[in-house]
Structures are given as C-alpha cells and as structure tokens.
C-alpha cells in the first residue's frame, strides 16, 4: 500500500489537535478532577485527558479507518495501512490540573517505523508547532531553525530544560544529576511538558533538554519538531533504568551530551 502524503497526515493532525485543544480548554474552565493515577499517586489522569483521547481517536479512525493508534490513556488500534498515530491527549496533565498554562495536545503520525508528521498545540497560548519529515519545522506557519553559529555558546551560557519521573527512586537519581548539571549551565527550567520542552529547543527558548523515562507519545511530535529545526535528539540508557532523551542544537551537541553523562543522567558503561 503506498504511503499517504505527509502533508495530508499533518493537515488531519492539525485539524484534530485544534479541536481537542478546544475541548481541553473548555474542560479546564468547567473544573478539573483527578480520575485515576498511573505510575504513582502523583501521576494523575483526569476525565478531560480521557475525553480528549476519545475525541482524537474517533476523529482519526473515522477519517482513516485502517490506521493504527497508540494513545497515552490506553486507546489503541492495529494498523493495516502502515500508518500509526501516536497521541498524548494532554501532555502536562499536572500543569492542567493546577491551571499552569503549559500543557499541550500532541499528535504524530508514523509510517515505516519513522515519525513523518506531527503537531503540538499549546492549549492556553494557542501556539501551534508543526513538522513534516524532510519538510522543516514551523511555529504558527513561521519556519523554525535552531542556532547554527560556530563556535557554540559555552555550557555556562546554556539554558537547559528537564523533567522528573513520578517514580520516587528514579526521581532521587534525577535530582542528583540535575544538581550537578546546574553548576555548569546558565540555569535549569522544568516546564512540565516534554512535548513543549522539545518544541522550545526548536524555537530557541531552550539551549538543550534532557529527561529520562519518556514514552513514545511524549516524544513523537515534539521530537520531530526539534529535529526538523536542526536539533539532534538521542536516547541513551538512563541512570534510573529507562531511556534518557538528550536534545540540543547540532552545534555544540557533543559537549552537551558529555555534560549530561558527567552530571549523572546516564547509566555508566563498563569500566566507568
């Protein structure tokens, strides 16, 4: 079966993401209650998360009934078309719960094992980050390119984003690594949405990003936005046993990756 045009997939993703963002925005105004927890008592799910995922699933599966679906809140479908949608109905649920305006709807399409189109909509600001494999990254239609000047800024002048696991034992290891990192960079930001962190690298709002324990729906769309803007994204074994995502502009990436390892984010290799 021939692959669909990537821009067609992106167009559908944007249409559905904007509708879901409207639903989430209304849900926040109407009041939010925790519906369940996942990995720990502080890793929450709201009814709005579930409603957003139902809407996205129904819209995508109606438009493209042969596609697969992988959603954070459990919605799934096998693919017979070669396309799978990877969806986070609210990335940054704790922010959403508290009314902190940094949470997003994230929808990506993968084909042939690669993410080929993605959109991240910041629900409160309305900003729309989009990308197509090989077609660049955009913020509200404006091209995004990470800085590429040589030499790269020194590590001491880089602003770095990160996040923490909801699993206590992993969080303890991460906080030690962040403490070590903080001494060598300009400052740390913990925004609370991996998708928006990755888009912030693309937009030049962060000089780097590192976090262990992300899921495919956390990275799919935002990761494509970052790499299509000219950033590099790698996943390494993390100190807590999960995959650790490292993302930064290509210029200066090796120094940043080495700093991440030196600070203790990554699992030591043999003999280290």
d(CA 260, CA 88): 27
d(CA 245, CA 265): 10
Output the pLDDT for position 39. Answer: 55
Output the pLDDT for position 167. Answer: 87
Output the pLDDT for position 186. Answer: 98
Instruction: Name the maximum alpha-carbon separation found in the chain.
Output: 55
DSSP single-letter state for residue 79: -
DSSP single-letter state for residue 209: E
Output the pLDDT for position 43. Answer: 46
d(CA 116, CA 110): 5
Output the pLDDT for position 31. Answer: 73
What residue ranges of the chain have pLDDT lower than 50?
1, 42-43
Output the pLDDT for position 20. Answer: 98
What domains does the chain contain, in order, with CATH numbers?
Answer: 6-144 (3.30.540.10), 155-263 (3.40.190.80)
DSSP character string of 132-143: ETTTEEEETTEE
d(CA 65, CA 158): 45
pTM to 2 decimal places: 0.93
DSSP character string of 237-262: EBTTSSEEEEEEESTTHHHHHHHHHH
Output the pLDDT for position 150. Answer: 85
d(CA 251, CA 231): 8
């Amino acid at each position: 079966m021939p692959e669909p045009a990537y821009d067609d997939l992106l167009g559908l993703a944007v249409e559905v993401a904007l509708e879901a963002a409207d639903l989430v925005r209304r849900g926040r105004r109407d009041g939010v209650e925790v519906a369940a927890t996942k990995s720990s008592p502080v890793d929450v799910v709201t009814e709005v998360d579930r409603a957003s995922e139902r809407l996205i699933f129904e819209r995508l599966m109606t438009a493209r009934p042969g596609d697969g679906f992988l959603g954070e809140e459990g919605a799934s479908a096998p693919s017979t078309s070669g396309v799978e949608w990877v969806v986070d109905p609210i990335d940054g649920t704790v922010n959403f719960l508290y009314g902190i305006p940094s949470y997003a709807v994230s929808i990506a399409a993968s084909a042939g094992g690669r993410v080929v189109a993605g959109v991240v909509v910041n629900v409160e600001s309305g900003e729309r980050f989009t990308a197509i494999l090989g077609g660049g990254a955009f913020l509200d239609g404006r091209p995004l390119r990470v800085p590429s000047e040589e030499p790269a800024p020194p590590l001491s002048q880089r602003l770095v984003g990160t996040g923490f696991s909801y699993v206590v034992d992993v969080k303890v290891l991460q906080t030690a690594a962040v403490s070590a990192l903080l001494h060598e960079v300009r400052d740390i930001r913990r925004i609370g949405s991996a998708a928006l962190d990755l888009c912030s690298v693309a937009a030049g709002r962060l000089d780097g990003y590192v976090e262990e324990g992300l899921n495919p729906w956390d990275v799919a769309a935002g990761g494509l936005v970052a790499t299509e803007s000219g950033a590099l994204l790698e996943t390494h074994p993390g100190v807590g046993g999960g995959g650790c995502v490292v993302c930064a502009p290509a210029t200066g990436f090796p120094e940043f990756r080495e700093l991440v390892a030196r600070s203790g984010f990554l699992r030591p290799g043999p003999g280290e």
